[in-house]
């Protein structure tokens, strides 16, 4: 395992421990009143620097950049579901002629939670994904001019209140 991989693993482990605080549980709600919240953490794999966004966020990236994305859904009265999906699109130019690719859709990650045997529910859950500003292929004679990688996340509580968030990476050509 490389030094970079070990540092990234350590950063993710530390984040999970700090962010989730040991998996807090509460009694399953009988009357849910608050909607969930979403928080994105973006970790630059080259520098190990992390940036946080509440709800929605935008990151400006360059070709070759790579990131780890952590989506956290929280609700003080219990979180029931979290989803995370992605989409990639880009444009290539040859003079004034443009070709577009995408959007290409990634697989949806989904985690459904249920009360445990003591009728307790988690107040926070997370999903992890990766974003790599590579693979923007252009036909011969065309040059990459820009693109985006978009992550769509959602969190749903036990009263079916759903909150959606978007994290967009704008990739410069």
Q: What is the pLDDT of residue 85?
A: 97
Q: What is the pLDDT of residue 18?
A: 41
Between residues 7 and 126, which one has the greater pLDDT? Answer: 126
What domains are there in the chain, each with its CATH number? 3-172 (2.70.50)
Q: What is the pLDDT of residue 145?
A: 95
* pLDDT of 1 above 70: no
Q: What is the pLDDT of residue 22?
A: 60
Alpha carbon distance 38, 151 (integer Å):
13
Q: What is the pLDDT of residue 15?
A: 47
Q: What is the pLDDT of residue 13?
A: 45
Reported as half-sphere exposure (CB side, CA atoms, 13 A), residue 126 has a value of 23
Across all residues in the chain, what is the average pLDDT? 88
Residue 146, classed as helix, strand or coil, is strand
From the list 173, 170, 161, 172, the residue with the least C-alpha distance to 73 is 161
Q: What is the pLDDT of residues 140-170, one digit of tens each?
A: 999 999 999 999 999 999 999 999 999 999 9
Alpha carbon distance 35, 167 (integer Å):
20
* pLDDT of 130 above 80: yes
Q: What is the pLDDT of residue 105?
A: 82
Q: Which two tokens stand for residue 8?
A: 């990234």
* pLDDT of 126 above 60: yes
Q: Look at the block and give the residue holding tokens 């307790």.
A: 120
Alpha carbon distance 165, 25 (integer Å):
24
- The mean pLDDT of 115-143, rounded to a whole number, is 94
Alpha carbon distance 148, 153 (integer Å):
16
Alpha carbon distance 85, 108 (integer Å):
5
């Amino acid at each position: 395992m490389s030094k970079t991989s070990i540092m990234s693993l350590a950063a993710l482990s530390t984040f999970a421990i700090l962010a989730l605080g040991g998996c807090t549980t509460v009694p399953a709600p009988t009357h849910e009143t608050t909607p969930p919240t979403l928080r994105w953490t973006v970790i630059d794999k080259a520098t190990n620097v992390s940036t946080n966004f509440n709800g929605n966020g935008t990151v400006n990236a360059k070709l070759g950049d790579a990131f780890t994305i952590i989506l956290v859904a929280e609700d003080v009265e219990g979180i029931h579901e979290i989803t995370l999906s992605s989409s990639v699109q880009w444009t290539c130019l040859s003079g004034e002629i443009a070709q577009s690719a995408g959007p290409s859709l990634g697989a949806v990650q989904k985690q459904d939670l249920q009360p445990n045997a003591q009728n307790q529910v988690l107040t926070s859950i997370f999903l992890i994904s990766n974003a790599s500003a590579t693979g923007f292929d252009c036909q011969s004679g065309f040059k990459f001019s820009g693109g985006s990688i978009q992550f769509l996340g959602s969190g749903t509580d036990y009263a079916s209140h759903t909150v959606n968030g978007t994290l967009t990476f704008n990739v410069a050509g």
